Every structure is written in C-alpha cells, then in structure tokens.
Amino acid sequence: MKKKFKLQDLDCANCAAKMEEAIKKIDGVNDASVNFMMQKMTIDADDSKFDDIMKEVVTVCAKVEPDCKILL
C-alpha cells in the first residue's frame, strides 16, 4: 500500500534525506521518499502491518527532526 503524508516544520533537506534513509530500513517498508521542498512523505509498505510501521516511522522521524510533525 502506498500512502502520502504532509509534513509540518521539516527544516532542511539533509534531515529529509536522513529520515528517508531511516524509514527505508524499517522492516516491511518497500520504498519511501521524503520531499523537503513539497513537505511531503510517500511510504510504500506492507498492508497488513501498515499501522505498526507508521508508529515506527513517527518514532524514527522524531529522532532525526524532533520539530517535524507527520500529519496522519
């Protein structure tokens, strides 16, 4: 399942790249992209575990960019 999310307060392109890299390492994630300019994130992940994967995504992103919010 592929879903798009808006991001709020993502401060730099480097942080977006770090977030993208960390999300791709999560088990069950097929692909991910974080676009700093558009303030959007796209995640392609396993349907059956999508909610659990998103909880992990939120945690990982908070470690990289504490001020950034994922608008679910």
**Separation CA 26–CA 67 (nearest Å):** 21
The contacts of residue 61 (CB under 8 Å, 6+ apart) are 19, 22, 23, 68, 70
pLDDT in tens, 10-68: 999 999 999 999 999 999 999 999 999 999 999 999 999 999 999 999 999 999 999 99
Contact at 8 Å (CB) between 34 and 7?
yes
Q: pTM for the complete prediction?
A: 0.94
Domain range for 55 = 2-71
Contact at 8 Å (CB) between 29 and 43?
yes
CATH of the domain at 58: 3.30.70.100
Domain total in the chain: 1
**Separation CA 27–CA 7 (nearest Å):** 22
